[in-house]
């Protein structure tokens, strides 16, 4: 409950919404997701799937983008669902007034924030309107000890803003343990693993005689994604004359970083071993062309959506043994794990995978089973809806 509500009690709008929800239980309850919106990476994929699937659990999700960009173009959501409330600068709070008017006009019952800046915005809307809010921890900024000034600022903003939220959602059990260790109320914390739709699994029988192995790194190319480690591993594989191709699928965080990687590729003389696909709207289609997905990130930031997309398609994962990756991929079962930041270890795991197409086919079958049992988008949305119900029920009882 916000501080304003604690002092004055729920607003008339809040009481009216709660009463309407009780008298007409079949009516979809409206949730506003306050998101960044400029990129379309893992967090935005989660948001897209909530936008498409929460209606089956009784909620009508709308989205407010504070830095409009690729989300509107790539999410495929209906026009009425996505709205732009652009911030002029990082700490611009002028959007709060417009968002308060919007949530009252649209009968929003709950706010859902997804990043430090959107948490700051949601906390202010909640304080002034009495509408409760929840926070989704997609990454680990409140658990890491960030070294850069920017990450320190994000951590401070996030830690301050979430004090007023009604529920924290983490995507993995490890995050939950660390949040609990920081003193967070157990009753205000829930675990919601990411999920993706089921895809048609690859036909491994058609690749049993293929000599060249195609592996891919998918996502926004940025420093902590481990792209450098993957390129250095490719150099080692080239020296061992392994028939491996690496495909980089995704856009670059900046032109400067793209140039850094281009210079590294040239220095390592990788030639045609590395191919760049760039940004694609249909990631699952690209993943199905791969024999394995590499996830070489050097820090744990929750469950990578691309890893789940790979499992769904039956594509084994070669990942860094960090954070939630080991909660998704079991070493030797659905894929292989390597020491983070160690190109030699990553290269060896690729060699291990390429040693046997028969074993690779078993990993593929296990990957499909793992996804269907644990990481579907339907299960994710049902867990999110359960968290919403807990918050709204508690709000009404007050």
**Model confidence pLDDT, tens digit, residues 178-203:** 889 888 999 999 999 999 999 999 99
Q: What is the pLDDT, as a whole number, of residue 150?
A: 63
The CATH number of 3-195+377-397 is 3.40.50.2000
**Model confidence pLDDT, tens digit, residues 85-104:** 998 776 677 899 999 999 99
Q: How many CB atoms lie within 10 A of CB 299?
A: 15
pTM for the predicted model, two decimal places: 0.83
Instruction: Give yes or no on whether 3-195+377-397 and 204-374 have one common fold.
Output: yes
Q: What is the pLDDT, as a whole number, of residue 152?
A: 67
The tokens of 325 are what? 């990756």
Closest to 193 (Cα-Cα) out of 62, 10, 29, 376 = 376
Q: Which fold has domain 204-374?
A: Rossmann fold (3.40.50)
Residues of the chain where predicted confidence (pLDDT) is lower than 70: 1-26, 90-91, 140-154, 298-301, 397-398
Q: What is the pLDDT, as a whole number, of residue 22?
A: 43
- Which stretches does DSSP call E strand in the chain? 29-35, 59-65, 82-84, 108-113, 133-137, 167-170, 189-191, 213-218, 244-249, 274-278, 292-295, 317-320, 335-338
Q: What is the pLDDT, as a whole number, of residue 230?
A: 95
How do 213-218 and 292-295 pair as beta strands? parallel
Q: What is the pLDDT, as a whole number, of residue 395?
A: 79
Q: What is the pLDDT, as a whole number, of residue 240?
A: 92
The tokens of 223 are what? 């420093």
Q: What is the pLDDT, as a whole number, of residue 223?
A: 83
Q: What is the pLDDT, as a whole number, of residue 347?
A: 97
**Are 115 and 35 a contacting pair, CB within 8 Å?**
yes
The tokens of 62 are what? 């709308």
Q: What is the pLDDT, as a whole number, of residue 92?
A: 73
Domain locations in the chain? 3-195+377-397, 204-374
Backbone angles phi and psi of 397, in degrees to 5: -60, -25
């Amino acid at each position: 409950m916000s501080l304003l509500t604690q002092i004055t009690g729920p607003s008339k709008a809040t009481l009216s919404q709660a009463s309407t929800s009780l008298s007409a239980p079949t009516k979809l309850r409206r949730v506003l997701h306050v998101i960044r919106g400029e990129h379309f990476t893992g967090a935005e994929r989660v948001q897209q799937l909530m936008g498409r699937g929460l209606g089956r659990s009784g909620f009508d999700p709308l989205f407010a983008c504070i830095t409009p960009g690729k989300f509107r173009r790539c999410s495929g959501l209906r026009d009425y669902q996505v709205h732009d409330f652009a911030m002029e600068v990082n700490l611009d709070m002028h959007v709060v007034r417009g968002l308060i008017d919007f949530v009252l006009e649209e009968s929003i019952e709950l706010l859902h924030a997804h990043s430090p800046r959107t948490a700051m915005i949601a906390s202010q809307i909640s304080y002034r309107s009495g509408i409760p809010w929840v926070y989704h921890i997609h990454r680990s900024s409140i658990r890491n000890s960030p070294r850069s000034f920017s990450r320190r600022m994000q951590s401070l903003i996030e830690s301050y803003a979430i004090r007023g939220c009604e529920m924290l959602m983490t995507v993995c059990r490890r995050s939950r343990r660390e949040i609990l260790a920081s003193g967070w109320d157990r009753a205000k914390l829930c675990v919601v693993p990411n999920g993706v739709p089921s895809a048609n699994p690859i036909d491994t029988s058609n690749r049993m005689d293929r000599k060249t192995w195609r592996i891919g790194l998918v996502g926004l190319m940025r420093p902590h994604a481990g792209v450098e480690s993957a390129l250095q591993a490719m150099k080692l594989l080239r020296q061992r004359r392994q028939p491996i191709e690496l495909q980089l699928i995704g856009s670059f965080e900046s032109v400067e970083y793209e140039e850094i990687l281009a210079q590294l590729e040239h220095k390592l003389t990788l030639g045609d071993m590395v191919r760049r696909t760039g940004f694609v709207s249909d990631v699952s289609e690209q993943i199905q062309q791969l024999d394995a997905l590499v996830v070489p990130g050097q820090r744990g930031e929750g469950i990578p959506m691309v890893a789940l997309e790979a499992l769904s398609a039956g594509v084994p994962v070669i990942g860094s043994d960090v954070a939630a990756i080991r909660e998704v991929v079991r070493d030797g079962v659905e894929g292989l794990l390597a020491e983070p930041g160690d190109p030699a270890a990553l290269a060896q795991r690729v060699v291990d995978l390429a040693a046997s197409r028969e074993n690779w086919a078993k990993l593929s079958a296990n990957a499909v089973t793992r996804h269907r049992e644990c990481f579907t988008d339907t299960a994710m949305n049902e867990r999110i809806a359960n968290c919403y119900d807990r918050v709204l029920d508690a709000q009404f009882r007050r």
